[in-house]
Structure 1
Amino acid sequence: MINVGRKKITAIEKELEDAVVEQYLSLKPEAYIKQVPKQRKVASAVSKVIRMAESLYRKEGSKSLDTIGLYDLQQAYDYLRERGYSISFRAFGGRIERGSIPSVKVGRKRYIAQQILDHLVSLNEKYYTIREAYDMYRKYEPKINYRAFIGRIEKGAILSVKIGGKRFIPREVLDSLVHIEKNYYTVTEAINELSKNGVKINRNAFERRLDRGRIPHYKIGGRRFIPKEVFQEVLNREMERRR
């Protein structure tokens, strides 16, 4: 094994220009919150529909309720599915029972206002739930468990947005994290990869190189990430020193 000593190592001169990472680092939760319809605005619109529904039901029964934007559960489920909202009917019913999807009872049946459905579709197009985000992220970082993923969100290492009392991960945030997992090494991963190739270096020595700017990297969510192409150059230089 090569033991990297105190011999001075030439810095890698490379300007990092990763548009995905740069965009990710510029993201702010406030920008997303402005894009989402306010809960009060949605609730106000729904209240008006409900008042109309009660009046219409007394006059004409349930047949005309869809004309004012009220759908029974099957109609509401079909409406969501047609617009790309992936959920089983059983899970959909469970969310209604728990009240996480607001509904109203008119006559003997339960209905959901179109404004609520459109709100769900809008969220689905732009955001992942925490569980959805974790399941997707874990495909690229298999070692992370759900608790650790939640911990990163709580510490702000993964940007999230709270909407209507529930936390979501913007889709472009997760796309950026997946890009980083595919194209970068963490410090631990880089040291492990060096070790696999016969280069022994302790963490403190490696981090000193990062501190001194000898290895170009990004700092993302409190952690340092080294582009794989930069790492390859580090490895090549170490292998060259071995000869």
Structure 2
Amino acid sequence: MSAPAQHPALYIDGLSVRFGAFRAIDNLSLLVNRGEIRAIIGPNGAGKTTLLDIITGKTRPNTGQVMLDGTLDLLAMSEPQIALAGVGRKFQKPSVFEALSVRDNLRLALRSAGRSILREMGHRLTADEEGRADAMLHRIGMAGVDTRRAGVLSHGEKQWLEIGMLLLQEPRVLLLDEPVAGMSDVETERTAELVLSLRSPERAIVVIEHDMSFVERIADLVTVLHEGRPLIEGSMARVQADPKVRDVYLGR
């Protein structure tokens, strides 16, 4: 007897959203499977960040469907409910608690998993939770700076710390919005290694990025958006060879 078909981590169908007369997303459909790293690229204004806003509940579409694991209707849920359901998002600008140490940022991420941060500030971590924080410090390559205040970290280090904080929430879908913007070449390569290490049969990763070398390094599949809808989808080699993509980026 064959195994039952697995639902995609993200199922998006017929998605449209308008801001006045501007159609930011235009009848967009997309499937992202668990175990996959999907890159979404396109020129400015293509609808990339708006798509993440819809998935996370920040923006509501006019039409369409967004399902998590084939069972949860994300459009019927609030932003906190979507986060608790297993959708984690890292915005373009890193968001860490700059007055706290690297380790305390990770501790706070563990304390706040499914709970109020303010209520849990005094909550002591269990030995198992401290072990998870230790493991995450090593995973993101920051064990040597665990006592350093987050506010003095480099831009790249803040990005890695925030990714670590999100991972401690155990997301089923991880959304990364321009994770290497503003990074040095060394930081970009280290971020690529980190993202590749996050691949898991239980998790889908969606990355929005303008750095094509980074996309080529990490992506299993690439979706090109143009004027709010997919233009082409496939390997980076296929995307780069498509004349429509060159026309879009060159403005022809």
Question: What is the TM-score when the length of structure 2 is the normalising length?
Answer: 0.22
| Greater strand content | 2
| Higher relative contact order, structure no. (Cα contacts within 8 Å, ≥ 6 residues apart) | 2
Bigger proportion of residues as helix = 1
TM (normalized to structure 1)? 0.23
The structure with the larger Rg is 1
